Amino acid sequence: MLNQNVSNTVAALPCTSCLRHSACLGACVQDAVGAEGENACITTMTLQRGQPLFRAGDAVDAVYIVQSGALKSRRHSYNGEEEIVAFRLPGDSVGLDAIGNREHGTEAVALCSTRVCQVPLTTLRREVHASPAVASHLLDDLGREIGQLQEHLRDERRTAQVRIAAFLLAQLQRRRRLFGAQIDRFTLPMTRIDVGRFLGLATETVSRMFTRLQTDGVIACEGNSVQVLDSTMLARLADVAESFQPLARVA
């Protein structure tokens, strides 16, 4: 039961040496501030599994970018259950959804050992005016956030199997974008419980769908390690909808 609010601030590597430099809002801000040899505005922090980056109700004073690891953005539903709004993987911005608010409405929690870069909001605000590149990058990230939510909303109306398939496919594609073209094996940083709370499914249903995909030979998994055996089939299950051949394929 990790619950400490502490987070270790460590020396930041210069943004220019970061692998994700070109797609990172923070690096963009850093460039705008000016190359003073090192990171004038960006702090790096490491979180342990279960450790919050910020909590609901905290003042909004910074935006974060995931460098490695993973987080979940969550809130509490009316009946007190955890409800996961998004998973944040390397390159993602965290905390943007609170822009325009004074307090965070969601909280971000590390799913595993995770390193994030922190960009102070004052700096971001200032550079939005000073630099068209920063403004454009910020709008892009906000647009992506909105797009993700709309996509998520669309998912909510599909069957459990389709949702799981789409989820796994998205994870796969994400890894490919991050690590290379033809990865077919990856580790899910989140539990089945988390997946359920993200997709709006009971844990048992998530589990059942995983087993079904395995018996159908679409994936193989061992714990949180997933291998996609038949990505074509996975894509078909995720997209076509209305292809409810539960287990038996039509002969």
Q: Which residues bind its own copies (CB under 8 A)?
A: 75, 77-79, 83, 85, 96-101, 105-106, 125, 128-129, 132, 135, 139-147, 149-150, 152-154, 156-158, 200, 239-242
Query: Could you tell me which stretch among 5-13, 85-93, 120-128, 187-195 binds DNA (CB under 7 A)?
Result: 187-195
Q: DSSP character for 59?
A: B
133-162 residues in contact with DNA (CB under 7 A) are 159-161
The count of other CB atoms within 10 Å of the CB of residue 187 is 13
- Burial class for 233, CB neighbours closer than 10 Å (0-12, 13-18, 19+): middle
201 binds DNA per the rule CB under 7 A: yes
Of DNA, its own copies, none, which one does residue 204 interact with (CB within 5 to 8 Å by kind)? Answer: DNA
Say how far residue 1 (Cα) sits from the centre of its chain: 23
Of its own copies, DNA, none, which one does residue 154 interact with (CB within 5 to 8 Å by kind)? Answer: its own copies
200 binds DNA per the rule CB under 7 A: yes
Give me the helix-helix angle, 160-179 and 192-199, nearest 10°: 110
* Exposed e or buried b per residue across 59-70, where buried means at least 16 C-beta atoms within 10 angstroms of its C-beta: ebebbbbbbebb
φ, ψ (nearest 5 deg) of residue 53:
-80, -40
Q: DSSP character for 22?
A: G
51 binds DNA per the rule CB under 7 A: no
Choose, by CB under 7 A, the member of 37, 100, 180, 246 that binds DNA.
Answer: 246
Q: Which is nearer to its own copies, 154 or 177 (CB)?
A: 154
Q: DSSP character for 45?
A: E
CA-nearest of 89, 47, 97, 58 to 72 is: 89
Total residues at the site for DNA (CB under 7 A)? 23
Of its own copies, DNA, none, which one does residue 246 interact with (CB within 5 to 8 Å by kind)? Answer: DNA
Task: Tell me which residues touch DNA (CB under 7 A).
Answer: 1, 159-161, 191-193, 200-208, 210-211, 221, 223-224, 244, 246
